[in-house]
Amino acid sequence: MKTKPLATTAALLVALGALSAKAVTTALCPEPALITEKPGAFEIGKATLIEYAPQVPGAEEAARFLAECWRVPTGLPLPVQAGDKPQKAGAVRFAAPAAADEKQPSEGYWLCVSPAGISVVASDAAGQFYGAQTLRQLVTPADLLRVPCLEIRDAPRFGWRGLMLDESRHFMGKAAVLKILDGMASLKLNRFHWHLTDSPGWRLEIKRFPELTTVGAIGDHSDPKRPAQFYTQDDVREILAYARARHILVIPEIELPAHSTAAMRAFPNLSCTGKPEFMYCAGNDEVIRFLEQVLDEVCTLFDSPFIHVGGDECPKDVWKKCPKCQARKAANGLKDEHELQSWMIRHFDQYLAKKGRRLIGWDEILEGGLAPGAAVMSWRGVKGGQAAAAMGHDVVMSPTSFLYLDYPQAAASDGYSYFAVRINSCERILSFNPCEGIPADKQKHILGLQGNLWAETCYNGKEAEWKLFPRAAAIADRSWSPAAKVSWASFETRAPEICARLKAMGLHVAPYGEPAWYKPVAAWKTGEQSEAWASRDWNISAAFKEAGPYKVRFIYTRGKHQLQFRNVTLLENGTEIAKDARQGSAGANPKSFDYTFTMPAAAKPGAVYTLRAEIRSDGGNDSSGTICVFPENLDK
């Protein structure tokens, strides 16, 4: 064996240690609460054992999970075994705190990596699992056999770190849900809110009422005749077991009193009119009994302490004309239909409470008085959540303006359609502080936050993955990490590795920010154009440098009307150098239109380049958008 000069070896080891620690720890997601990087690394090798202290909740499962994650990329045997003695050299060990002062917070863990070994200490099974998830992230494709030395003390800021998936409007199916659960667990997200019933289709088998699925599961948002798609109770049990093993709680949502046309396609007698309506009749005792029996089965199937009952967007017009609804109102001294809805929510709050469950609903359940004990999911901004917290109700924040994932993730089109035009990018999600505007003594009522993926414009599991990831990683940072550690700057440096890890899990992952070509140099705004064709100039000098082909992309951002353009000309110091006469348009669909111009030579220093186009706004003057000009090779 050759010997090297000691100083060189030591210097090399320090350099390697510093390199690997820097390269990997910066890419953890969510960002740990406290991390201390140290020189050196633990080498994973043929002799590496993965040990767990026997009878410690979750330790064996975490050890087996980590071994599975590491075996495939490393090709090493990594045997898993029980061991009651700390600590064999060269082992990774999962154990409970050895002393009272080592007790870890709920879901928290203490991870120490040294050249001699690795220890994970946690006081509960979720903490053991999250220690394993962090270790999984510390091994990167660049260096599969070394874990950088460090110490992490970590625990979540919020207990509710969630995603919601709407499977009524479009059904994603079991394989898609399992994949999403894996992606969530890798980011330490722990609440999966499952929107199973809504007007387009009822997706949950209820044994007592088979018509809910034989009839109610037919159709979706795209096709009212699509053959029935739903989850059997066996499917649900399988998905719940899968989620439980990943420390994810599944919260079912059974919508009432509105968003329920699918149920009334199966049972028209449950509406005020005898025809399928958007909302159940609030005055009919048969409706109350039916929903109780549905909830009985839901509570048998799901172990979640929370049952979501919707409660959103209930127009009251049908109730105003219904004798039964009016009779219920009179009998209970209710002053209006808001109080009638409130009566219904309170009834099911009490019903669920008797079964040991808690009702959670959208913030409309505040209208007309909120049932005591009920929790609120604040979606129409944060005001509902703030009001509910002030009244002492628990709150999950999921405002449209930050956390709706059916909104686009970038200004640049990614080829998918979105329900709205307002952008909820990773950067925007990270800027959301769920406790802002809530007095310190009420902040304990903020359970956490959740991203919601409604599925009017989401057609299958692959598309759902694209819209969920990597925004789920931003939600993970925001809901797990201490507020002071959360920023776009921090996320942006880690994002390439975060996205690469999610892709390695087989997920379809969107870009985490705007593409390289997206640098708007000009814009048009609502009110600036009319229905008549008119010429308009934009100074776009900043966009040009080298000679070569450039794209000019007109991108609609918002407004009711489409912008049309033609005779698009490029001028250099007022002289035309290129022209494309074609007529194009940018609106909701298509969102953008491209022209290509070739710059015959490099831009002249000090020259003014002007884009001139004839434009009109079709149908009115409400159209806004941006214009990007970029070298064609950036558009990959």
Which residues form the catalytic set?
Answer: 198, 259, 313
Does the protein bind Zn ion through residue 272 (CB under 5 A)? yes
> Min. distance of Cβ 168 from Zn ion in angstroms?
23
> Min. distance of Cβ 348 from Zn ion in angstroms?
17
From candidates 64, 88, 320, 324, binder to Zn ion by CB under 5 A: 324
Pick 282 or 568: Cβ nearer Zn ion:
282
- Could you count the other beta carbons within 10 Å of the beta carbon of residue 357? 19
User: Is residue 33 within 8 Å of residue 144, measured between CB atoms?
Assistant: no
Pick 315 or 590: Cβ nearer Zn ion:
315
From candidates 262, 322, 359, 475, binder to Zn ion by CB under 5 A: 322
Pick 64 or 324: Cβ nearer Zn ion:
324
Element at 489 (helix H, strand E): helix 488-504
- Could you count the other beta carbons within 10 Å of the beta carbon of residue 332? 10
**Residue 526, SS3 per DSSP:** coil
Let me know the angle formed at the C-alpha of 283 by 281 and 289, rounded to the nearest 5 degrees: 80
Pick 64 or 320: Cβ nearer Zn ion:
320
How many whole angstroms separate alpha carbon 522 and alpha carbon 528? 13
How many whole angstroms separate alpha carbon 257 and alpha carbon 281? 8
Pick 267 or 454: Cβ nearer Zn ion:
267
What is the amino acid identity at position 484? A
Does the protein bind Zn ion through residue 325 (CB under 5 A)? yes
DSSP 404: B
Interface with Zn ion in residues 45-84 (CB under 5 A): none
The site map against Zn ion for 386-425 (x = CB under 5 A) is ----------------------------------------
How many whole angstroms separate alpha carbon 546 and alpha carbon 600? 9
Residue 604 tokens read as 């002249």
Pick 289 or 462: Cβ nearer Zn ion:
289
Q: From 41-49, 79-87, 323-331, 388-396, give the range in contact with Zn ion by CB under 5 A.
A: 323-331
Give the residue from 162, 185, 183 showing the smallest Cα distance to 375. 162
Residue listed under structure tokens 């919508």: 255
Does the protein bind Zn ion through residue 314 (CB under 5 A)? no
> Min. distance of Cβ 453 from Zn ion in angstroms?
32
Pick 324 or 338: Cβ nearer Zn ion:
324
Strand-pair partners of 166? 195
> Min. distance of Cβ 281 from Zn ion in angstroms?
3
* # binding residues, Zn ion (CB under 5 A): 6
Q: From 6-14, 315-323, 341-349, 476-484, give the range in contact with Zn ion by CB under 5 A.
A: 315-323
Q: From 105-113, 133-141, 156-164, 322-330, give the range in contact with Zn ion by CB under 5 A.
A: 322-330
How many whole angstroms separate alpha carbon 596 and alpha carbon 598? 7
* DSSP string of 142-201, one letter each residue: TBTTEEEEEEEEE--S-SEEEEEEE-SSS---HHHHHHHHHHHHHTT--EEEEE-EETTE
Pick 279 or 615: Cβ nearer Zn ion:
279
Q: From 81-89, 170-178, 277-285, 544-552, give the range in contact with Zn ion by CB under 5 A.
A: 277-285
What is the amino acid identity at position 411? A
Residue 568 tokens read as 């698009």
How many whole angstroms separate alpha carbon 101 and alpha carbon 497? 35
Q: From 157-165, 224-232, 319-327, 470-478, give the range in contact with Zn ion by CB under 5 A.
A: 319-327
How many whole angstroms separate alpha carbon 539 and alpha carbon 607? 11
DSSP 291: H
From candidates 91, 281, 474, 495, binder to Zn ion by CB under 5 A: 281
> Min. distance of Cβ 189 from Zn ion in angstroms?
40
> Min. distance of Cβ 291 from Zn ion in angstroms?
14
Q: How far is CA 601 from the centre of its chain?
A: 46
> Min. distance of Cβ 198 from Zn ion in angstroms?
20
> Min. distance of Cβ 298 from Zn ion in angstroms?
23
Q: From 2-10, 103-111, 321-329, 426-434, give the range in contact with Zn ion by CB under 5 A.
A: 321-329
User: Which spans in 302-395 are helix H?
Assistant: 317-320, 323-331, 337-354, 383-390
Residue 575 backbone dihedrals phi, psi, to 5 degrees: -105, 130
Pick 63 or 279: Cβ nearer Zn ion:
279
Phi-psi region of 437 (alpha: psi -120 to 50; beta: other; left: phi over 0): left
Strand 249-256 to 191-195 pairing: parallel
Pick 43 or 317: Cβ nearer Zn ion:
317
Does the protein bind Zn ion through residue 283 (CB under 5 A)? yes
Q: From 19-27, 47-55, 193-201, 266-274, give the range in contact with Zn ion by CB under 5 A.
A: 266-274
> Min. distance of Cβ 155 from Zn ion in angstroms?
49
> Min. distance of Cβ 474 from Zn ion in angstroms?
43
Q: For the chain, give me the number of helices (H) and strands (E)?
A: 17, 26
Q: Can you give the binding site for Zn ion, defined by CB under 5 A?
A: 272, 281, 283, 322, 324-325
